[in-house]
Amino acid sequence: MVAAVRLDAGQRAAFFDASKLLRDRGLGDVAKVAAQRLQPAGADAPSVVVVGEVTRGKSSLINALLGRPGLSPVGVEVTTGAYLGFVPPTEDFPEGGARLVTAEGYRGVPLADLADWVTVAGRHNADPDAPVIRGAEVATTGLHLPGVVHVDTPGVGGLNSSHTRLATRTAKGASLLVFVCDAGAPLTAPELRFLSECSDSVESVVIAVTKVDKYPAGWREVITANRALLRTHAERFADAEMVPISNPFADDAVRTTDPETADALNRASGIPRLAQIIGSRLRDTDQVRIANALRTLLSGLDQVLVQLQARREAASGSPQVRANLETEKDRLEELRLQQSRWTLDLDRDLGGIRSQAVTASTLHFTELRERWTARIAHDKHAMVPAGRRQMMSELTAELEYSADVLATGIYEHLRFVVQRLFRDEPTAGEVLGQTSDQLFRVQPRQRALRPSGVSLMDPSLVTTALFGAGIAKGVFATGAAGAAGIFAPIALVVGGAWLAVNATHRVIKGGRTQLQTWMAESVSAVQSDLITAADTVIREFRPEIIVAFRDHIARQAAELKTTLREAELAEAASDKERQARTSSFDRHIAVVGAQREAVLDELKLLAAGRSRASSVPAGTSGGRGPSE
């Protein structure tokens, strides 16, 4: 266990005063997370978590920082259920080692087999007895940032997909966050929203703008546009370091044998500059933990301020508040009605999701089964064992993809139901949590081809061969009765050829039949497993959402009642009384604001100390990327 860090007097006062205020205001969970950020479990190595939209080049960036092209599987096939961590070697986990992180603990695997475990097309995903993988780790010494854990998060499906929740959860435990976008277009609205959500407990964020080699004429304009977007929609990151990156240049630098060429490619890649920025910020791990804990508290204080300002507005008795009073009453009544009948609506919606899942999977797998039936019947590859194995591999990959697509559809329907109930996207994601993870665990079962039953010793084939030999002998005998003995061997050869032709035909037919049977059973199994998983998720999801929504309604109703009470009191009060109430809220807001400023001041002091430290050369991590 890593020891808790030591706080100086100012940090201690800011931390404990803010934590007490949050607990008093009903946000004790936020204070608890902040305390955990001071005393993390696990290895004492700082972690850099790389997040971003799909196809932005996250895995390639990880490989470039490690100086190991291809180490983290690149492409959109990376599994949605696991992160990849690249950790400094230890005595128990030496250089080049690989292990899976499962619910039961670690499981060592050969590094060469890693992709078969963590990618959608990996062969181990077809094994029903394979462990459920939460992540994977590789022991390797990073070229640019030795001693730092590099974490690659999944981006499959995009930031709007269900898979975002894993990247968000992983990011919240980071020492530093690298947000990856590319030079092809400015930041999108989902990217800006995701950047804010995943960094509410991480102070240091660096933005890597990849693919500048593909857009040499436009990447500078994109960075300028990104700055403007950040100032408008995410002001906290307006001055964040934004580093232009070319991952292919970094890969070429590792592969070339000419030192001068390698140095030029390295500098052009921007990777050394990115590494220098990261290294300078992670130099003091204790300060990193303190900054992340304070950032977590700051996010909680912002929530408190929003609540207090809403109540102050209600207490002011402003014309706008009085005009909205009836609307607020209607909203409270709507909540009360929801309390009496929303479970009926939920059961209706969940039943609809189940029905839609059955219909969608039936249509999808029927089309898949018919298409593969026709292909097996006509594709010459089905005639030979090697071809059949290849077709089995292709079908397995398609079934994995189909299961993921259908599971995503089910999850999105669940998310829509929750979002409609809570009217809040972040709350919907929090409520769903890991309830639906098992939807994405449906994989084709590992199964072998059944024996075809065709044998060269099949009595019917032997009888056919003898019959063919008899006909041949009879033909030769009628033409030359005295030479029957001479032609007897020829008759046997003809009979053997007849046997070979019939046997070959039956083996080919049997092979196609084997493959058709295997295909039909595999498709049926995946379809059945998917519906079973959907039933299980819906069954387990219902009590979870009931409890969460009852709590949500209770909190909303309590907050709304408080606001209404303030508005009603303000409406009936004199100007002097309204002034007293608003003054009281102003004092509360000032207290929270002062506490927020105290936390912010400590963060600024930490940033100033970090800035001074970053002026010290960082050894091999120097150099600049493309000119901005």
Of 3 and 315, more confident? 315
pLDDT tens digits, one per residue of 386-428: 777 778 878 887 888 888 788 878 877 887 777 777 765 555 6
pTM for this entry: 0.60
Q: Phi/psi of residue 283, each to 5°?
A: -60, -40
What is d(CA 515, CA 449) in angstroms, rounded to the nearest whole number?
7
Residues of the chain by 3-state class (helix, strand, coil), percent to 5:
65, 10, 25
DSSP line for 514-580: HHHHHHHHHHHHHHHHHHHHHHHHHHHHHHHHHHHHHHHHHHHHHHHHHHHHHHHHHHHS-HHHHHH
126-135, 536-545, 575-584, 594-603: which has the minimum mean pLDDT?
Answer: 126-135
Using the predicted structure, report yes or no on whether residue 470 has a pLDDT greater than 60.
Answer: no
Instruction: Give the per-residue pLDDT at 609.
Output: 76
Count of beta carbons in the 10 Å neighbourhood of residue 322? 15
Q: Nearest 5°: CA angle at 79, between 54 and 151?
A: 70
**268 CB burial (10 A radius; 0-12, 13-18, 19+):** buried
Using the predicted structure, report yes or no on whether residue 211 has a pLDDT greater than 80.
Answer: yes
| Structure confidence at residue 98 as a pLDDT band (50, 70, 90) | very high
For 112, the token pair is 């060469």
Sequence-ordered list of residues with C-beta below 8 angstroms from that of 479, at least 6 positions apart, any chain: none
pLDDT tens digits, one per residue of 561-593: 776 676 767 666 777 777 777 888 889 999 999
Sequence-ordered list of residues with C-beta below 8 angstroms from that of 84, at least 6 positions apart, any chain: 59, 62, 72, 73, 78, 118, 135, 136, 137, 138, 151, 152
Q: Do the beta carbons of residue 368 and residue 395 sit within 8 Å? A: no
Of 329 and 366, more confident? 366
Using the predicted structure, report yes or no on whether residue 140 has a pLDDT greater than 80.
Answer: yes
Using DSSP's 3-state secondary structure scheme, residue 209 falls into strand
Using DSSP's 3-state secondary structure scheme, residue 102 falls into strand
Tracing tokens 């030769």 back to the chain, one arrives at 476
Q: Work out the mean pLDDT of the chain and round it to a whole number.
A: 78
Q: Do the beta carbons of residue 585 and residue 315 sit within 8 Å? A: yes
Q: Nearest 5°: CA angle at 229, between 223 and 233?
A: 150
| Rg of the Cα atoms in the chain | 33
Sequence-ordered list of residues with C-beta below 8 angstroms from that of 242, at least 6 positions apart, any chain: 207, 209, 223, 226, 227
Q: What is the mean pLDDT of residues 141-165?
A: 72
Instruction: Give the per-residue pLDDT at 157.
Output: 44
135-144, 231-240, 400-409, 617-626: which has the minimum mean pLDDT?
Answer: 617-626
What is d(CA 63, CA 72) in angstroms, rounded to the nearest whole number?
6
129-133, 302-306, 495-499: which has the minimum mean pLDDT?
Answer: 495-499
Buried b (16+ CB within 10 A) or exposed e, 12-26: eebbebbbebbeebe
Of 237 and 464, more confident? 237
Q: Do the beta carbons of residue 154 and residue 82 sit within 8 Å? A: yes
Q: What is the mean pLDDT of residues 520-539?
A: 87
Q: Do the beta carbons of residue 595 and residue 328 sit within 8 Å? A: no
Instruction: Give the per-residue pLDDT at 490.
Output: 47
| Structure confidence at residue 139 as a pLDDT band (50, 70, 90) | very high
Instruction: Give the per-residue pLDDT at 307.
Output: 82
Q: What is the mean pLDDT of residues 273-296?
A: 93
Q: What is the mean pLDDT of residues 536-545?
A: 77
What is d(CA 432, CA 425) in angstroms, rounded to the nearest whole number?
11
What is d(CA 422, CA 425) in angstroms, rounded to the nearest whole number?
8
Instruction: Give the per-residue pLDDT at 495.
Output: 47
What is d(CA 60, CA 152) in angstroms, rounded to the nearest whole number?
10
Percent of the chain whose predicted confidence (pLDDT) is above 70? 69
